[in-house]
Structure 1
């Protein structure tokens, strides 16, 4: 099989991720499917075989090879080396300390072992966000939200605690906001009230809440600025966002942490309030 296009292969995971994002509009459907799977399941790409990865991604093995060649690699093994290098880089002294915590669970009770497991997952989540958060995206998001007359907060299911906290914190900081989540079932009507001087924050993680996706698309169609928190570049929420943050939460015993999302929410809330205060003082 010949290479589909002559491009220079990315040298690291961040370069690979950027290449995928830049070319996603031109990727055929099956290659897009592999791209989404690779960013959502990087560890599986690093450790799996072509057959096992293809099965999990619901594509043919040849599609994985085509995807790698589309990005400039000779074959899938070259692409896989990037994912394995990412794992080696993540194996820092911080990760070693977390592994030590987990290893110590053999010396403690079952209850304390559960506590240690969730603490370790929370730590991993925070560490991942610390490495991946883009300062420019944060600055632009703060500016968007600080200029808004009203901030609409949209989240459902697992993401709901994050928006609820932001509503509480914004209220304490005297930042006008609307928490979209009513027992009366008028959430779409609330979102429809957002005007050109407002902005919104939408939060959703896989499996994505369809109501959140629909409200985000409605806001984007009306050109209302939207800051999103989600878990993949291929999330439907990212497509509607003016600015968006990728949050990959670690899990323990099948329960995913909210630690990184909550930390980002706290930082955004305080930074927006501080920017608004400075703008007021400048006037």
Structure 2
């Protein structure tokens, strides 16, 4: 079993293995699933008291899910809580206040250096993580689609904006499902088996994007997905699923790698069409 990298993935592992755990570990599992905010910011001693177990049991629980210690597991809960806070000011406050930790990012220059470095690493990892067969399959789907629907809301909307711009310049028929006027379902209503849906969402996943991609699956539309985990709710119905590890600085995530991949697909399609 691989160590979970997202809270939703860990929670799924806990639920799946719950009945195989000892009674003590089941007790911890129950508390962990029901009290994510406590796990994120309370001390190990406080959590152990509330869960009515010794602190050593928390460590055994974390080890059972391939973490080196309970504090390592706690980071998934803290990260998720920060990501679900839509206000960037509130995110910064949560991070600064977390257990009195001192932050290393003091100036705009510090932040720029951290993001530049993190994005450089993410881009280097991108080409190694994406199989050539996936790229070829995605370009095939885009080339043969009657209509390309792009479903990428909230933080992922910049992906939709770029792909809409690029694919229209390639004379593709494109519909950006933006939900304007609460009309998202109507915008996707005519999707069919000869169409392609490009879906993009990252933890915490946009419920609108998940629902729309599930609807597209009922219409047998092909799907190209941009997401961050193999257990993402978008992955199940995908024909091509790109799992992208974005750069992250103190729970503020970039989109550089995803945009690079989107641009690569659009330019690859341009070269293919030019040869024909």
Name the TM-score class by shorter chain.
0.5 to 0.7
Q: Alignment partner for residue 230 of structure 1, among 227, 230, 236?
A: 227
TM-superposed CA distance for 1:180, in Å, is 0.7
What is the aligned length?
A: 199
TM-superposed CA distance for 1:129, in Å, is 1.3
Give TM-score, length-normalised by structure 2.
0.63
Structure 2 Cα separation of the partners of residues 64 and 113 of structure 1: 33
Contact 2:225 2:234 in 1 (8 A): yes
Q: Could you tell me which runs of 5 or more consecutive residues in structure 2 were left unpaired when the two chains were aligned.
A: 4-12, 19-43, 52-56, 69-103
Q: Could you tell me which runs of 5 or more consecutive residues in structure 1 were left unpaired when the two chains were aligned.
A: 1-8, 10-15, 18-26, 33-51, 69-75, 78-105
Q: Alignment partner for residue 114 of structure 1, among 111, 114, 118?
A: 111
Contact 2:159 2:258 in 1 (8 A): yes
TM-superposed CA distance for 1:63, in Å, is 6.4
2:131 corresponds in structure 1 to: 134
Q: Alignment partner for residue 262 of structure 1, among 256, 259, 263?
A: 259
Q: Alignment partner for residue 271 of structure 2, among 259, 274, 280?
A: 274
**Any idea what the Cα deviations from partners look like across 1:228-280, whole Å, max 9, x if unmatched?**
000001100111211100011121243111000000010111222333444xx
Structure 2 Cα separation of the partners of residues 214 and 270 of structure 1: 29
2:171 corresponds in structure 1 to: 174
Structure 1 Cα separation of the partners of residues 65 and 110 of structure 2: 42
Contact 1:143 1:275 in 2 (8 A): no
1:30 aligns with 2:16: yes
**Any idea what the Cα deviations from partners look like across 1:206-234, whole Å, max 9, x if unmatched?**
00000100111111122110000000011
Contact 1:199 1:224 in 2 (8 A): yes
Structure 2 CA distance for partners of 1:219 and 1:63, relative to 1, 3 Å: farther
Structure 2 Cα separation of the partners of residues 202 and 113 of structure 1: 34
* Alignment of structure 1 residues 143-162 onto 2, 5 Å: 143-162=140-159
1:240 corresponds in structure 2 to: 237
Q: Alignment partner for residue 194 of structure 2, among 192, 197, 200?
A: 197
User: What is the alpha-carbon root mean square deviation over aligned residues?
Assistant: 3.2
